[in-house]
């Protein structure tokens, strides 16, 4: 058995021992209802932790009243946009998720979940900066996006960077992240 395997086994045994001790203390000092309450609290904390890992610091208030029927990578992208705005002491506003008028076959279409978001910042310079920031702050750069359009002099389409403006996107950022997107 390797040293790592031994350490892992020791940690596992230690966790079992701690769990047994905690159970004995809880059994001694708490009623059944109290013990169930503690268990429920632990389950809730675990679920919250899993949710945070899945969607980052996203919450529905970030959608500015737009529908929340969007995929988790889009939620992570929105959370990243809010983080970007907070770092620059400015604001970010979601202008469309699955609502609004979009081209047929758009990533915005909710089938079953929307996979794109439109965002605006107070200035065009901030929108251009956010478009660049998106590519720099993801593990695979442009490969993390189906689409990344905005006012900057480039856009991303299916992971490929094109040095040109995408039509009708000079006043907002349009982001459709890939399934495994992490900011």
Beta bridge partners of 120: 93
- Check whether the bond before 112 is cis (ω within 30° of 0): yes
Q: Is the pLDDT of residue 100 over 70?
A: yes
Q: Give per-residue pLDDT as tens, 36-88.
A: 777 787 877 777 776 565 556 788 888 888 988 999 899 989 989 988 988 89
Which pair of structure tokens corresponds to residue 111?
């089938």
Q: Measuring CA to CA, which residue among 59, 121, 132 is closest to residue 90?
A: 121
pLDDT tens profile 16-36:
988 888 888 877 777 766 667
Distance CA 119, CA 63 (A): 10
The tokens of 140 are what? 């695979």
Half-sphere exposure of 155 (CA within 13 A, CB side): 20
Reported pTM: 0.70
Inter-axis angle of helices 3-29 and 32-55, to 10 degrees? 140
As given in the structure block, the two tokens for residue 149 are 């359009």
């Amino acid at each position: 058995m390797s040293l790592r395997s031994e350490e892992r086994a020791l940690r596992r045994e230690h966790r079992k021992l701690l769990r047994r001790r905690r159970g004995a203390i809880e059994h001694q000092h708490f009623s059944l209802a109290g013990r169930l309450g503690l268990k429920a609290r632990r389950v809730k904390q675990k679920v919250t932790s899993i949710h945070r890992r899945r969607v980052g610091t996203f919450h529905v208030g970030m959608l500015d009243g737009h529908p929340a029927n969007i995929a988790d990578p889009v939620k992570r992208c929105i959370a990243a946009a809010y983080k970007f705005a907070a770092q620059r002491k400015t604001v970010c506003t979601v202008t469309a998720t699955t609502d609004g008028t979009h081209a047929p076959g758009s990533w915005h279409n909710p089938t079953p979940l929307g996979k794109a978001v439109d965002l605006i910042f107070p200035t065009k310079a901030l929108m251009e900066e956010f478009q660049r920031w998106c590519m720099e702050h993801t593990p695979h750069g442009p490969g993390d996006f189906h689409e990344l359009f905005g006012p900057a002099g480039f856009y991303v389409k299916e992971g490929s960077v094109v040095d040109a403006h995408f039509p009708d996107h000079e006043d907002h950022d349009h982001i459709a992240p890939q399934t495994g997107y992490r900011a």
